[in-house]
Chains A and B, each alone.
Chain A
Amino acid sequence: MVNIHTILPVFLADEKSFGDGGVLAEYAWLIVVLPFIAALAITFLGKKMPYGGAEIAVASILFIFIYSFALLILNISKGVVNEFYVQIGSIGALDLEFGWVVDGLSIMMFFVIGAVSLMVFIYAVEYMKGEIRYTFFFTSLTLFAGSMLVLVSSPTLLQLLVGWELVGVCSYLLIGHYWEEKKNSSAAIKAFITNKVADVGLMIGIIMLALSAGTFRISDILYKATHGHESISKIAVVAGILLFIGAMGKSAQFPLHVWLPDAMAGPTPVSALMHAATMVTAGVYLLARMFPFYEGVAAPAKELVLLVGVLTLFFGGCLAIVQDDLKKVLAYSTVSQLGYMITALGAGAYTAGLMHLWTHAFFKALLFLGAGSVIHAVGTNNMSEMGGLKDVMPKTFKTFIIGTVALSGLPPLAGFFSKDEILASLSHEGYAGYFIVAVIGAFITAFYMTRAVVKTFFGEYRGEGHPHESEQLMTIPLVVLSVMAVVAGWVNIPGIYTGFTSWVGTRGIAIKEYHPDSFDLTAMSLGLLSAVTGILAAYFIYIKFGNAETGDEKIRLQPVWKILENKYYLDDLYIKGIVDPLKTQVARKVDKFNSKVLDRFINTVGLATAFLGKIVYSNFDQGGIDKLVNSVSVGTDNAGGKVKLIQSGRVQQYLTLFLSGVLLISIIIFVLY
């Protein structure tokens, strides 16, 4: 039974008016369902098509982009808040519903996903040309887009969980695309397992919330949370922490960030799409969706959020300095920036965190695609084999520079505005210590990005290949994304235009946060200062007083460098502490139990069945039924053998029989009648 009904929220604190989205919102399920249909189409038709199914993928993403753009325009002009539910079952009093929610937050996510996916898909058509399993790649990529859309459009925690897990599966498939090399399949498993560990927290949190609130519906839970329902407030803090643990896994927060650098083993378009712009932002999205919950009853959980976010921000950034692999630099950079977003949300800065998500998606995807362009041309990930590419690959170079500047946070590019908002919120809320750490983080960010740029594009070419500029299908997305990297920040300029705030604030439940009406000058200046200092420091170390190769030696402060190179020995800790004991002790015991007990049991059952079958066969089938059937034929044969003896060829015998018959008949007719 399908019940589709909408809820017009009755609890909106802002006087801002909004609409119900009309037809566009009603049919928004198309953008969620379409990728799955496209994935199916690619599976069955892809191999026969000229571009191996990529056409279907790009077409579906294009549709999503256009639709989400239309929704965005609608939201900007009129505001959209609407929710649709489809009931698929129920457990006792708890209803299991799926559906789609169309409000400011989800529309923003739709647009981010649509836009970045479109660019990445077009890029991947060229980048993955000639690679193995081309069609399957696009199937997985489209599936991933669909899963992410399921996640961000979910009005119930149940659907959120489904989307969460789906995204994890697609991540596994895509990271392990080149699974012929053990390193890649191990990375995929690492990503999946690390996420799964965190998902335990998520699931427990969801179950707690759902049982206490009596429903999976997010809007109902938020309503109950903000209106002081006893059932929710009792478990709010614990549930909040647990949900955040789930977010930690997906958004690669310290110490569960270990999977993200290894995930760079996947193809670069995957890194660009999933591990920069979309999948890793799922944790941020979760916190943003549950923001009233965290602001209200679960407020103590925010302390943990803030702490973890700041730790991540700092430690992630430090790790980026020591990397030789270009993609790993960007991976740690993503970890660090995700830390910024989590910090913002932990500090109660809803708009700042989402703004950074928005801008980061564009310039990080740009940086990844640019790195992919370089790697495609040079054939290696290691920066020690690159260099001097700025003249050979001008477009890539220019767009990469734009991305770097945006990430470093220099005006008027996008990163400046979003990072500035975070710093402003931190200082406003009074978190002085965290504020300083964030500022240092800005320094580190600028430093490692400049280092990466110098090592890749400046100096002499240290490699052995013949690099050349990439094809148009790869450079056009770079250009488009670089334009977005420039303008994306202009949607929320404090004091001048704060459209973004109202976009994402258009929700069924009021978002109470601090809205600065002008620039916080302290924060802004400190942020700018640290960014510029970082760039200059890198300039001096790697260009002025050294070159790309030797620059590292100057800053190799042991034992800090060693610790950083070994990633804080976290991986060793995890492997020796958790994985190995499980693998050797527990797994071995389980295996023994499996083979000795279970297998033996099953084998016995099998043998017994075979024996029984043999008995039945020989006794019933052969002895019984076959004998019966055979006896019919043998009996007929015998009877025939006996009957044929009548035909002896002797006339007198025939006559005897004949006359006996005559006698018999005559007796019957003449005598008995």
Chain B
Amino acid sequence: MNIIPILITAAALFSIGIYGILVRRNSVMVLLSIELMLNAVNINFVLFNAFLRDVLLQGQIFSIFIITVAAAEVGIGLAIVLMIFRNRQTANLNDFDLLKW
């Protein structure tokens, strides 16, 4: 199959993820959008692995790593959101502005 549609799709997914990060008010939703972006990257890696017929399967390997790190990151991220929620009783990103001028 042609790689261009898949590339475009990955790019679109990435942009959608960006949109999601900037738009969503809830911290958990933002983390969700981050997952979208990481997923788009995964598509890219695997696609190029197939396209370049890599013997070392580096694309796939790296994709595995990405998934692993994403999982760890989500765990930590949610723990942080939990902590904040315990202190502030809110998960609204707009309320976390202590670094304001």
Q: B-contacting residues of A (Cβ < 8 Å)?
A: 644-645, 647-652, 655-656, 659
Contact = CB atoms under 8 A, between A and B. Distances in A.
A649 B97 contact: yes
A655 B22 contact: yes
Given A656-B22, A659-B18, A651 B93 contact: yes
Contact of A647 (B21, B93, B100): B100
B94 to A, nearest CB: 6
A644 B101 CA distance: 6
A650 B94 contact: yes
A656 B96 CA distance: 16
Interface in B48-101: 93-94, 96-101
Contacts of B94: 650, 652
A107 to B, nearest CB: 98
Nearest to A643: B101
Contact of B21 (A648, A650, A655): A655
A650 to B, nearest CB: 5
Nearest to B97: A649
A649 B99 contact: yes
Nearest to B25: A652
Query: Chain B contact residues (Cβ within 8 angstroms of A): what range?
Result: 10 to 19
B80 to A, nearest CB: 12
Contacts of B98: 649
Interface in B1-49: 18, 21-22, 30
Contacts of A651: 93, 96
Nearest to A663: B18
A649 B98 CA distance: 6
A650 B100 CA distance: 8
Contacts of B99: 647, 649
Given A649-B100, A650-B96, 20 more contacts: A644-B101, A647-B99, A647-B100, A647-B101, A648-B100, A648-B101, A649-B97, A649-B99, A649-B101, A650-B93, A650-B94, A650-B97, A651-B93, A652-B21, A652-B22, A652-B94, A655-B21, A655-B22, A659-B18, A659-B22
B27 to A, nearest CB: 9
7 contacts: A648-B97, A648-B100, A649-B96, A649-B99, A650-B96, A650-B97, A651-B96
Nearest to B24: A652
Contacts of B22: 652, 655-656, 659
A402 B25 CA distance: 130
Contacts of A647: 99-101
Contacts of B100: 647-649
A650 B23 CA distance: 12
Nearest to A645: B101
4 smallest CB-CB distances across A and B, nearest first, come from A649-B97, A649-B100, A644-B101, A649-B99
Nearest to A651: B93
Nearest to A650: B97
Contacts of A652: 21-22, 30, 93-94
A656 B18 CA distance: 9
Contacts of B97: 648-650
Contacts of B96: 649-651
A346 B89 CA distance: 130
**B30, B100, B101 — which one has the most chain A CB atoms within 10 A of its CB?**
B101
A8 B76 CA distance: 121
B22 to A, nearest CB: 5
Contacts of A645: 101
A70 to B, nearest CB: 96
A647 B97 CA distance: 9
A476 B97 CA distance: 107
A49 to B, nearest CB: 76
Contacts of A659: 18, 22
Contacts of B101: 644-645, 647-649
Contacts of B21: 652, 655
A661 B79 CA distance: 31
A636 to B, nearest CB: 16
A645 B101 CA distance: 7
Contacts of A644: 101
A644 B100 CA distance: 9
B25 to A, nearest CB: 9
Contacts of A649: 96-101
A645 B98 CA distance: 14
A651 B84 CA distance: 15
Nearest to B99: A649
